[in-house]
A and B are shown apart, each in its own frame.
Chain A
Amino acid sequence: MLEAINLKKAYGNMEALKGLDLTVNSGDVYCLLGANGAGKTTTINLFLNFIEPTGGTAKVCGIDVTEQPLETKKLLAYIPEQVMLYGNLTAMENLRYFAQLGGHDYSPDEYRGFLNRVGLQPDAIDQRIKTYSKGMRQKVGVAIALAKRAKVLLLDEPTSGLDPKASNEFSQLLLQLKADGAAILMATHDLFRAKETGTRIGIMNEGRLVQELSTDEVSHADVERIYLEHMHAGDQYSQKVA
């Protein structure tokens, strides 16, 4: 569903992504771990075609994102760290607007259905977004993804800054989407969530995917140990270069 083949991105001499090979299938929740600057967001931006790759290809459902960016965008949903919505519009109006941008239209009841499904309190639906907490905004973000009937989800640290309850609710939504057959790529710093929600984990360091794990083969402790090993190795490497 989601495929990166030797995907590269350089800004001048700085190589942000050094040849990434990655596949996320339907029903997969692939968690990208790595320090800030490891290339996680760059990967997501490349799949969104917000930036042009300097090498390799990124494909969504087999379609090259640089060749048919509009087609691939129709297939995917994007939820950033902070879902950005229009403060002066209500949740309902925001959802309707984004759904229409994605080429869908539903009845008001159907929109309410999406917002109920993501657990938004019914009385909040017709309030303006500027009164919303971050957790509520993220829920609207998921509702947008639902309304878009996206086959692929690109999540960029979607739970960072959420309280544990909101974070847990968000993970439950992801699991529902996964059960519906979505392919999910999530950049995160939350090792615990990665192990809990993810089916696979990829550890990135300095633009490279250094290790892939299947979450059912490792324990929480293993994930943390392996992750830290890579980070230390990276530090030593950087020190040598320096």
Chain B
Amino acid sequence: MIGSIARKEFSEIVRDGRFKWTAGIMVLLLLTATLAGYQKYSGYMRIQQLAQGESNTQWLKQGDKNPHSAAHYGNYAFKPAGPLAFFDTGISNYAGTAIFLEAHKQNFAIGRPATDQSSVGRFGDLSGAMILQLLMPLLIIFLGFTAFAGERESGTLRQVMSMGVTNRQLLWGKALGVGTVVLIVVVPCVLVGTFVLSMANLNIVGEGMGTRVAALSVGYLIYGGIFLFLTLAVSAWAKTARTALMVLIGFWAFAGFLAPKAASEISKAVHPSPAFGSWFSDMRSHQIRGLDGESPWITVEKYKVELFRKYNINSIAELPVYWPATRMQKLEELDHPVFDLHFGKIKSSYTEQRRIQDRLGFVAPTLPLRSISMGLAGTDLIQHIKFLEDGEAYRRYMVSEMNGYLSKAAASMNATYSSSNYMRADEKVFSIVPPFEFDPPSLSATLREHRGNFVMLIVWLAAAMGAALFAVKRMSVEKG
């Protein structure tokens, strides 16, 4: 019974002119987005690898110099993208792609693609994710809004309901019919996308690609189901197909455009990000005056005294470690908690904002889905923060290795220390520090992080189904 309803619904939709146009446009856009996205992604990855390689070479070939100066010369960390970034660009257009790593300073990520875009860029990239998030619901609405309302207007609903079919059977049948049409449009594009993905070099940043694609498919499938049942609910409830279409387009615009914007504004109002000026001056004053109000220079003096007592000596010349390097490292380490505190404030404000946006998922199903999608694609805030953390950890490691080498290797120069008499090191020393490698959040951590969003999507699906069942139960077969 449900099968025959679905089959009839399917043939009717497929023979309708509406279908040919919308499906054609949808397929064209999806394929374009997939292929263009893949091209863009592979271009980005080529540049990223080239730039990282170049920077690593520059680090090694920077010329013979004092290791601490080498730490000043620094290196760059370039952010690699996971292969799924071609499907969902997430925040990567607005987040930086590189961090300059140098002694004494924790820098912001630079190189935001959005700064090079015209105002058209504000509409977002034509990515597979964007099409599935915005246009797939539109396709579902266009194919499904007449499901009940149209049949009621044309009078076939009376005929159908006189046959002894239950409203529920009709609902499931129509859901199956419309759903199959949507899948026939979307699935081939997804398969092309998956094929393209399989050509990518998955070793870069792509743990559990199969699971990621599967989890993304589940997420988008639930998302499509939500719009399918909402469409059928509204179609059964609305008096005319026109009303149904208007209500559904209204909800679509709300869910797709208004709700994400509003969620972002609300999250910023609740957890404002620190203003740059005061944030920076607070950090500087902590660096200069010390976190606990003790100047770093005094702390370093105390440290020296401590070392004298430890080695039972009275002068720098007797120290078994090279004092300028040891002192530099001590100063560096005094900055760490200051950076952790202040960069942590920015990080936690963004994290809190993201949490609030996730919690607002009950407002529109697009919110949890968007979060899941960029999370699994590895283009979300969590991934970016991990990149910043990895970059900073690498910077600290690089600086401490250089200072550490110097403090041991130049230990005998304590007595003869002067600005013109210092130790020089070469490539062999600089190569103590291996190239930077980004370790993105694990798949299991990502899935754990998005458990709530998946639950939210399932709640949405259940609510949409409930609404549809309720609407068909009370459905009138009469016009007007």
Q: Are chains A and B native binding partners rather than an unrelated pairing?
A: yes
What is the interface of chain A, defined by CB distance below 8 A to chain B? 48, 50, 70-74, 76-78, 80, 82-86, 88-89, 93, 96-98, 100-103, 148, 154
CB <8 Å contact, B15 and A97: no
Contacts of A73 in B (CB 8 A): 161-164
Contacts of A84 in B (CB 8 A): 154-156, 158-159
Q: A86-B8, A88-B15, A93-B11 are in contact. Are A101 and B164 (CB under 8 A)?
A: yes
Q: Could you say which of A71, A78, A82, A89 contacts B12, with CB atoms under 8 Å apart?
A: A89
Contacts of A71 in B (CB 8 A): 164
CB <8 Å contact, B165 and A101: yes
Please report which residues of chain B, range 456-473, place their CB below 8 angstroms from some CB of chain A when the two chains form the complex.
Answer: none
Please report which residues of chain B, range 19-55, place their CB below 8 angstroms from some CB of chain A when the two chains form the complex.
Answer: none
Contacts of A93 in B (CB 8 A): 8, 11
The answer to whether the Cβ of B58 comes within 8 Å of any Cβ in the partner chain is no
Chain B contributes a number of interface residues (CB within 8 A of A) equal to 22
Q: A50-B478, A89-B12 are in contact. Are A101 and B155 (CB under 8 A)?
A: no
Q: A93-B8, A103-B1 are in contact. Are A78 and B162 (CB under 8 A)?
A: yes
Q: A80-B155, A100-B1 are in contact. Are A88 and B164 (CB under 8 A)?
A: no
Contacts of A48 in B (CB 8 A): 161-162
Contacts of A76 in B (CB 8 A): 162
Measured between C-beta atoms, what is the minimum distance from A90 to chain B in Å? 10
**Closest B residue by C-beta to A76:** B162
CB <8 Å contact, A101 and B158: no
Measured between C-beta atoms, what is the minimum distance from B4 to chain A in Å? 4
User: Hey, what's the 0/1 contact readout for B40-84 against A, CB within 8 Å counting as 1?
Assistant: 000000000000000000000000000000000000000000000
CB <8 Å contact, A101 and B478: no
**Closest A residue by C-beta to B8:** A97
CB <8 Å contact, B4 and A97: yes
Q: A50-B477, A70-B164, A88-B16 are in contact. Are A83 and B159 (CB under 8 A)?
A: yes
CB <8 Å contact, A101 and B156: no
CB <8 Å contact, B156 and A89: no
How far, in angstroms, from A179 to B155 measured CA to CA in the complex?
Answer: 30
Q: A50-B477, A50-B478, A93-B11 are in contact. Are A85 and B1 (CB under 8 A)?
A: no
Q: Could you say which of A85, A89, A101 contacts B11, with CB atoms under 8 Å apart?
A: A89
How far, in angstroms, from A103 to B15 measured CA to CA in the complex?
Answer: 25
**Closest B residue by C-beta to A94:** B8
How far, in angstroms, from A50 to B161 measured CA to CA in the complex?
Answer: 8
**Closest A residue by C-beta to B7:** A97
How far, in angstroms, from A100 to B165 measured CA to CA in the complex?
Answer: 10
CB <8 Å contact, A80 and B16: no
CB <8 Å contact, B159 and A98: yes
The answer to whether the Cβ of B160 comes within 8 Å of any Cβ in the partner chain is yes
Contacts of A102 in B (CB 8 A): 163-164
Measured between C-beta atoms, what is the minimum distance from B25 to chain A in Å? 21
